[in-house]
Structure 1
Amino acid sequence: MTDARPTLLTVVIESDGPVDRESETYRRIVAARLRYEKYFAVEVLERPLTTAEVADLCARLDTTYVVFVRESHHVPSAYVPTLVEHLRKRNVYLAEPRIFTGPIPRDVTTVKTDDTAVYGRDADIYGVVFHTRRLVDLLDAAGDVDRTALYIAYRLYWSIAKIAPLSVGYSVASDTKAVSGVCPGPGLSRLVPLIPSASRELRLYLLRYLVLFLRGTRVYKETDVGLDHLRDLIREYDLIRLVEVAAAREPLEAAAIRWLDDPSADRHLYKQLTGRDAYLEFRLGELDDEHVPLYRLRLGEDSVSIGKSYRPVTERAGYEDPGTYDFYSRPIGPGSTILFFDRPGQADDNAEHLYAYFTAKHPEYRNVYFALGRKSRDWERLERRGFNLVPIFTPEFYELFLLSDLVVSSQIYNLQYRGKTLANSRFVYLQHGVQLNDMTDWVVAKHFDVFVATGEIEADYLRSVAPFETLNSGLPRLESLARVPSEARHLLFMPTWRFNLHQVSTESFKQSSYYRAVDAILTDRRLLDFLERTGRHLHVKLHPNVEKRASAFHFSDRVVRTGLSYREAISTAEMVFTDYSSAVIDASFIGTPIAYYQWDAEGFFADQPYESRLDYRSEGLGPVFYGHEELVDHVVTERFTVPDDETERRKARFFEGVDPARINETIVERMLSL
């Protein structure tokens, strides 16, 4: 006699390949069988989940409910038990946890549920329990929508206006859709069925989905979804009344929605600047020569062009309206409040270095602040240096933001407080590092008055979309970076990270090509013998996302996991090598030899949200190696110590226009002129 299959719930675990049965998510789901095995079954789908896959699965499932979980997502131990206990006591169309894009809070019931929080929720199919037969009914009626829209379509179809979330969390791990958007498959001509709903929650989900679709259209440049459907969607759900919720996070898409709602208003104020303002312009067909071309997109049968134009501030609607405060009305001077910051948890980046320079050279400016998290390890260090610190993202911080005449940062955050944003006030963006990848889609969607570049190659790329805002000065930290001779000689290895390894188990991580390639370098016998013979060490600076895996690597007396800061490690190294990290640009700038070891060059960028702008073979600032033995030969023969004329020519071109002695001075001159 065999046990009957569970009839309550099927948990479908999706993976892009063989499922990692040692991953935390998989183990937590199957662990619930100890108590609830008679209530739920587990199905594994080792390929991407599509609408067609959902239809096929539901057609053969015999459980009342189904839930789809992606292997790379996070679930707490209570996830499946909470679902089962909820479902076994009632009959529902839908049940859902509280969805997060980052860590799951200890108490999920205290999380905000305002418009911004609802809008930011991932509204994909994952983590949500569907009634299997009712999902089949939807697919029979509206199976022409993309999987990413099935959750919204299901709620529209069954008129589910509001859901009380369960007291358990589910995390999609990261908001990668914000980078690449969503792209319905070819042949799909609509996003969702146009079934009326007055639910504010659903309308906010629809707004977010429309924004993600428009973001994906910028990335992929074409879609079979036409303008008429998009306009019908906006008008059916009155999304124009909600568009301000999206404007701070996705201003370009918000402008596109306003244009779709009213095509006669084809020019939209995008960023206030000093003396002139930047506008986005939308056209069917071609743009004229006065515009900076940004995009040419195909939507259904129509061709849409998006460009940028710069116009005098006097053309701005309401420019002389006394009821509208102009944050540019007061010139920057010694009485101005100026706010600097790097990351909330970490300083020692470009804002810290520019702050130190500015306060030393311009002591007449007394209202200059540096914002940082109080728990940061850098707080006490900067306090000892006399920095005027303010806890970041606190009420005090926002009051200073409101009073400030200028914000200067190596990071871009969606600051908004009492009507002030980065769209209507002065902001100097210092960057964290040189952009080696093509991040045009990201750059055009951000607000800044000045965008700091390093060298004419990067500056030319940025000027193509921000001709007046780009400043080729170099990064502030480079001015004070210098090679520091050290008796304890060492080389430095700085491998970056792989997005597809975030949530895998330790065993799966150790089976990855990333781990095998990195660890093979750390344990190479020829390399170890060379280090021993020459009295050197190999310092390994792990990416922050790899730190939790550090124990998996085989370090030794000669190969050490360094605790030095990036700055200290780079400045004292004889040679620095990486796979793709832009951090090695700092080393090259101060004359330290660099090299690239790209064992997975063929597939690396397929898993990244951006494509490389740099041809490492012809433009890289050091040799490129694809094989382990090649790299080791380069090191143990000490070829890195031999000057190379071609590398010097590339460096001269790469850093063209940057005066190492005037980096900070150049930026300060520009920012005080805003």
Structure 2
Amino acid sequence: MLDSSPLLTIVLETPGLLDRESAMYRRLIAARLRYETQFSILEVGEVLTADSITRLSETIETKYVVFMKTSHQLSASYMTTMLEYLRARTVYLAEPVMYTGGIPNNVAATTIDDAYRYARDTDVFGVVFNTRRLRDALEAISDVDRSALYLSYRLYWSIGTVKPLATGFSVASDTKTAIGQQIAHDVTRLVPTIPAASKEVRLHLVRYVALFLRGMRAGKVTQVALANLRDVVQSYRLVELLRFVEPLQPVEASWIRWLSDPEFDSHLYKQLSDSDSYLSFSEGQPSEGSQPPLYELHFGGDTVVIEKSYRPRHLRPGYSRAASYDFYSRPITLGSTMIFFDRPLQADDNAEHLYEYFRANHGEFTEAYFALNPKSPDWERLQTKGFKLIPIFTTEFYEKFLISDLVVSSQIYNIRYRGKSFANSRFVYLQHGIQLNDMTDWILSKYFDVFVATGQLEADYLGKLAPVETLNSGLPRFEALTRTAHEPQHLLFMPTWRFNLHQVSTEQFAQSEYFRAIDAVLSDPKLLAFLEETGRTLHVKLHPNVEKRASQFGFSKNVVRTDLSYREAIASAEMVFTDYSSAVLDAAFIGTPIAYYHWDAADFFHEQPYEGRVDYRDDGLGPVFEVHSELIDHIVQEHYLLPHELFSARRERFFQGVDPQRINAKIVERMLSL
């Protein structure tokens, strides 16, 4: 007779209210219909750590254990596949095919290659551990961070290769790629340095180290010793795998090179027209009297300093040997191929407006193209305007990119083709938003020859990070707005997004402070009466991440989801308000009154992957409200129509150096000089 005792314990991390409507939780409960006696669910009302996992492993009696969150996703076959596999054999661990986005219908079609192994999330979640073997290993490795337990477990037991089972598990987010890995403050080593020749494990390790270093640029302090970090890099020969790191973590790639060979402390970062930018790494305190470093980071008792410098192109390593094609050797001429683009499915941003100006005023450049997805609703509109369109991210696009002498965009994408990237070719970044928050880590992770600023305040901030590349010109869409007739027709509300809501269920979204605060504005009786009595309409421009949940909000006859473009909505607005979106500065630029509603001012930046740089109360271009009733009174009493000298003065200071009539001209002059 088969043993009917549970085989597997699912440890479910549920800090706060358990989301019983999440897709993952419902799938687990549904599995009980078939496997009632084969697994149990243990809800843990705290964030799992290495310490708590160690304690739990001592109490769990089932042969196997797996850790999950309700925000994660499971294939429909996950429980069936895992339980049937585990019943037939005894293993150290079993894992599904891991994803950071949606799980495809045909998991078996996923290619398990080096690229997959590098991109695979290496936290403990979704992997089934042998409980006894985990308990044994934790006696040696419980001093590492939870996020390194999976790697450390494989190193401890010398598990070099794992063949994923034909079912999927998704951690449902890849934000660590952008913001890095934050580890517990008391952790003193990353992973054990146990000899491992497995390339699979080393690929996992180089990703983990890169994400740790990216997180260090934000966190600044760790108890991990620099000696341990260097030992990990050197012992596992991670420098051999940097081709996987460089596309998305170029700073970290240079950093790992330095850790591998500290004698080589200066690394070429970005090729430029007249000079190249370099990153330099050193131990110890910054030199007195020198420029402030980009970073001063503390590893246990050691300090690492990262600095940026510029050197003439002829001093570039290997320059005289012409080891690779120099994309700067071709000057920009009338026959140069140029590519402009905004988002793949949406134009009407800075690149479109600059391209339109460029075509009208510099028609002698005959090979200037605008890239867009043919399925975009803007494709036909731009065709009618005479744009030379090419389908973005197609073979035609990449071939044009290869022969192009200049790329101009309001977005930064990791475009690489046949040895060409923005690291070694000309790129003008027009920005989409404005740097109101401290985006230092993000900016320094990107390649650009020109970074367009929107006034002296922003230019001063950017100039500390990229003094050669910063151009204080203003955004092309600003010039388009100044040329657009401004006939106030409606009020406009443009709330931004909250990162902690990415994976919540509809139930939890409806219970969030974010939803309640916005919906309370849209359905406020006093506001609705004001709109009705004055014949006004409140247009609401939801953030793209909220669009799928738009039906949750209380729209009505006078409160509508606008289908206008950002430019049209702002140009025809009588007043614009937001929580934290920089988009309202477009309105401020053309003199439209703006306001801020900070209902979660105490917590907002605690839950975002960045910190505030501008004090909205001291530097904002409109009043700041934290109380719902005060915002509503400001609107219904029409206080926004009153002249305000303070905000007018702040507006002049914020946009200092920007000539509304020469924004496009200034950018074109700079880009043609590259």
- 1:306-343 per-residue CA deviation (whole Å, 9 max, x = no partner) reads 10111111111121224432110111111111111112
* SS of residue paired to 2:546: helix
CA contact (8 A) 1:221 1:297 kept: yes
What residue in structure 1 maps to residue 134 of structure 2? Answer: 135
What residue in structure 2 maps to residue 200 of structure 1? Answer: 199
Supply the distance in 1 between the matched residues of 2:634 and 2:13 (Cα, whole angstroms): 42
Task: Return the offset for 1:562.
Answer: 1.4
CA contact (8 A) 2:115 2:244 kept: yes
What residue in structure 2 maps to residue 306 of structure 1? Answer: 306
CA contact (8 A) 1:292 1:309 kept: no
CA contact (8 A) 1:579 1:597 kept: yes
**Range with greater deviation from structure 2 (553-562 or 430-439):** 553-562
How do 1:543-554 residues align onto structure 2 when only pairs under 5 Å count? 543-554=543-554
Supply the distance in 2 between the matched residues of 1:182 and 1:447 (Cα, whole angstroms): 22
* SS of residue paired to 1:480: helix
CA contact (8 A) 1:280 1:308 kept: yes
Supply the distance in 2 between the matched residues of 1:481 and 1:339 (Cα, whole angstroms): 23
What residue in structure 2 maps to residue 540 of structure 1? Answer: 540
CA contact (8 A) 2:487 2:571 kept: no
Supply the distance in 2 between the matched residues of 1:5 and 1:651 (Cα, whole angstroms): 72
* SS of residue paired to 1:667: helix
**Range with greater deviation from structure 2 (340-349 or 620-629):** 340-349
Task: Return the offset for 1:114.
Answer: 3.5
CA contact (8 A) 2:49 2:145 kept: yes
- 1:435-456 per-residue CA deviation (whole Å, 9 max, x = no partner) reads 1110001111211110011011
Task: Return the offset for 1:17.
Answer: 1.5
* SS of residue paired to 1:652: helix
- 1:191-247 per-residue CA deviation (whole Å, 9 max, x = no partner) reads 111111111111010000111111111111121212221222122211111112211
Supply the distance in 2 between the matched residues of 1:361 and 1:427 (Cα, whole angstroms): 21
**Range with greater deviation from structure 2 (600-609 or 339-348):** 339-348
Amino acid corresponding to residue 160 of structure 1 in structure 2? I
Task: Return the offset for 1:486.
Answer: 4.6
Supply the distance in 2 between the matched residues of 1:296 and 1:371 (Cα, whole angstroms): 40
Supply the distance in 2 between the matched residues of 1:31 and 1:60 (Cα, whole angstroms): 26
CA contact (8 A) 1:226 1:302 kept: yes
CA spacing shift, 1:373–1:104, aligned 2, 3 Å? farther
CA spacing shift, 1:16–1:464, aligned 2, 3 Å? farther
**Range with greater deviation from structure 2 (613-622 or 385-394):** 385-394
What residue in structure 2 maps to residue 38 of structure 1? Answer: 37
Amino acid corresponding to residue 293 of structure 1 in structure 2? P
Supply the distance in 1 between the matched residues of 2:507 and 2:186 (Cα, whole angstroms): 41
Is 1:240 paired with 2:239?
yes
How do 1:566-645 residues align onto structure 2 when only pairs under 5 Å count? 566-645=566-645
Supply the distance in 1 between the matched residues of 2:387 and 2:592 (Cα, whole angstroms): 31
Supply the distance in 2 between the matched residues of 1:268 and 1:485 (Cα, whole angstroms): 50
Task: Return the offset for 1:170.
Answer: 1.7
CA contact (8 A) 2:141 2:149 kept: no
Is 1:673 paired with 2:673?
yes
CA contact (8 A) 2:279 2:307 kept: yes
Task: Return the offset for 1:82.
Answer: 2.5
**Range with greater deviation from structure 2 (458-467 or 549-558):** 549-558
Task: Return the offset for 1:386.
Answer: 2.1
Is 1:225 paired with 2:224?
yes
What residue in structure 1 maps to residue 7 of structure 2? Answer: 8
Is 1:102 paired with 2:105?
no
Is 1:414 paired with 2:402?
no
Amino acid corresponding to residue 593 of structure 2 in structure 1? P
Supply the distance in 2 between the matched residues of 1:543 and 1:569 (Cα, whole angstroms): 14
How do 1:449-464 residues align onto structure 2 when only pairs under 5 Å count? 449-464=449-464
CA contact (8 A) 2:66 2:126 kept: yes
CA contact (8 A) 2:73 2:171 kept: yes
CA contact (8 A) 1:479 1:663 kept: yes
* SS of residue paired to 1:441: helix
Task: Return the offset for 1:292.
Answer: 5.9
**Range with greater deviation from structure 2 (329-338 or 21-30):** 21-30
CA contact (8 A) 1:99 1:169 kept: yes
How do 1:333-482 residues align onto structure 2 when only pairs under 5 Å count? 333-482=333-482
Amino acid corresponding to residue 208 of structure 1 in structure 2? R
Supply the distance in 2 between the matched residues of 1:106 and 1:373 (Cα, whole angstroms): 25
* SS of residue paired to 1:549: helix
Task: Return the offset for 1:107.
Answer: 1.9
Supply the distance in 2 between the matched residues of 1:81 and 1:431 (Cα, whole angstroms): 48
What residue in structure 1 maps to residue 490 of structure 2? Answer: 490
* SS of residue paired to 2:338: strand
Supply the distance in 2 between the matched residues of 1:345 and 1:330 (Cα, whole angstroms): 31
Task: Return the offset for 1:605.
Answer: 0.8
CA contact (8 A) 1:29 1:77 kept: no
How do 1:317-328 residues align onto structure 2 when only pairs under 5 Å count? 317-328=317-328
**Range with greater deviation from structure 2 (8-17 or 121-130):** 8-17
* SS of residue paired to 2:667: helix
Amino acid corresponding to residue 118 of structure 2 in structure 1? Y
What residue in structure 1 maps to residue 294 of structure 2? Answer: 294
Supply the distance in 2 between the matched residues of 1:6 and 1:435 (Cα, whole angstroms): 57
What residue in structure 2 maps to residue 250 of structure 1? Answer: 249
- 1:624-673 per-residue CA deviation (whole Å, 9 max, x = no partner) reads 10011100100010001111000001100111111111111111100000
Give 5+ residue unaligned stretches, structure 2.
none
Task: Return the offset for 1:574.
Answer: 0.6
- 1:477-503 per-residue CA deviation (whole Å, 9 max, x = no partner) reads 11101464558x311111112222222
Amino acid corresponding to residue 344 of structure 1 in structure 2? P
CA contact (8 A) 1:6 1:37 kept: no
Task: Return the offset for 1:290.
Answer: 6.0
Amino acid corresponding to residue 245 of structure 1 in structure 2? F
CA contact (8 A) 1:570 1:576 kept: yes
* SS of residue paired to 1:659: coil
Task: Return the offset for 1:88.
Answer: 2.2
Supply the distance in 2 between the matched residues of 1:444 and 1:168 (Cα, whole angstroms): 38
Supply the distance in 1 between the matched residues of 2:135 and 2:276 (Cα, whole angstroms): 51
- 1:418-466 per-residue CA deviation (whole Å, 9 max, x = no partner) reads 2111111111111111111100011112111100110111111110110
**Range with greater deviation from structure 2 (243-252 or 4-13):** 4-13
Task: Return the offset for 1:85.
Answer: 2.5
**TM-score, normalising length: structure 1:** 0.97
Amino acid corresponding to residue 308 of structure 1 in structure 2? K
Amino acid corresponding to residue 319 of structure 2 in structure 1? Y
- 1:389-425 per-residue CA deviation (whole Å, 9 max, x = no partner) reads 2222222222111111111111111222221111111
Give 5+ residue unaligned stretches, structure 1.
none
CA spacing shift, 1:347–1:634, aligned 2, 3 Å? same
CA contact (8 A) 1:51 1:143 kept: yes
CA contact (8 A) 1:16 1:46 kept: yes
What residue in structure 1 maps to residue 189 of structure 2? Answer: 190
**Range with greater deviation from structure 2 (416-425 or 601-610):** 416-425
Q: How many residues align?
A: 670
**Range with greater deviation from structure 2 (197-206 or 379-388):** 379-388
What residue in structure 2 maps to residue 528 of structure 1? Answer: 528
Supply the distance in 2 between the matched residues of 1:66 and 1:19 (Cα, whole angstroms): 20
Is 1:651 paired with 2:651?
yes
Supply the distance in 2 between the matched residues of 1:291 and 1:527 (Cα, whole angstroms): 52
Amino acid corresponding to residue 569 of structure 1 in structure 2? A
Supply the distance in 2 between the matched residues of 1:5 and 1:323 (Cα, whole angstroms): 66
CA spacing shift, 1:103–1:652, aligned 2, 3 Å? same
CA contact (8 A) 1:6 1:41 kept: no
